[in-house]
Homo-oligomer: A and B are copies of this chain.
Amino acid sequence: MNAEEFLKLENQLCFAIYACSREITRLYRPILDDLELTYPQFLTLAVLWEHQRLTVKEISQHLQLDSGTLTPMLKRMEAMGVLERKRASEDERKVYIELTNKGIHLKKKAIQLPEKCIPHFGLSEHQYKELLASMQQLIENLQQVTRLT
């Protein structure tokens, strides 16, 4: 396949990934609406369900989002009462993010998200894991290029 062919939409892996990402979000939306969360907010909670307390920087590393995206989103989530932002006393530059009880308990409801949605992917568990591994490998390959300091 030559470069000209790669310009066609149907041959662009990048477009398929971009379109797929939005399509999954569309599938998730009714349940996210029920949780009163956006998808990036859900991801933020997912990180915090695993790690309890993280700095903004650490969340930024997990989600690959910068402070320009995170700061306003975390403020909105604080206003919603799902988490708290606490300036670290040992290093005044850092801000710790901690879940409130409301944020912790959202996990129970959030379990519906994978439960109800993943079956619609139409993939066997094996196919799911294969595809997940391929995507993670691709991310790693890309980061080697984009993250060269």
- Taking Cβ atoms with an 8 Å cutoff, the residues of A that contact B are 1, 3-4, 6-28, 39, 43, 46-47, 49-50, 62-64, 107, 110-115, 118, 120-123, 125, 127-128, 131-132, 134-139, 141-143, 145-146
Inter-subunit contact A1/B125 (CB<8 Å): yes
Tell me the number of copies of this protein: 2
Task: Given the known inter-chain contacts A16-B136, A21-B17, A135-B20, please indicate yes or no for A50 contacting B120, CB distance below 8 A.
Answer: no
- Nearest-Cβ distance from residue A126 to partner chain B, whole angstroms: 11
A2 and B131 alpha carbons, distance in the complex (Å): 18
- Nearest-Cβ distance from residue A31 to partner chain B, whole angstroms: 12
Task: Determine the residue in chain B with the shortest Cβ distance to A15.
Answer: B43
Inter-subunit contact B121/A7 (CB<8 Å): no
**With a CB–CB cut-off of 8 A, which chain B residues contact A12?**
46, 114
Inter-subunit contact A6/B118 (CB<8 Å): yes
Interface centre among A50, A113, A134 (most CB of B within 10 A): A134
Inter-subunit contact B3/A115 (CB<8 Å): yes
Which of B20, B63, B107 contacts A138 (CB under 8 A)?
Answer: B20
Inter-subunit contact B24/A142 (CB<8 Å): yes
Other A-B contacts than A1-B125, A7-B107, 7 sampled, CB-CB below 8 A, are A6-B114, A9-B47, A9-B50, A15-B43, A17-B17, A22-B64, A26-B146
Inter-subunit contact B50/A3 (CB<8 Å): no
- In the assembled complex, 24 residue pairs joining A and B whose CB atoms fall closer than 8 Å, in A order, are A3-B112, A4-B111, A6-B115, A7-B49, A7-B111, A8-B50, A9-B46, A10-B136, A11-B132, A12-B114, A13-B131, A17-B135, A18-B24, A20-B138, A20-B139, A21-B21, A23-B139, A26-B142, A26-B146, A121-B141, A122-B137, A122-B138, A123-B138, A134-B134
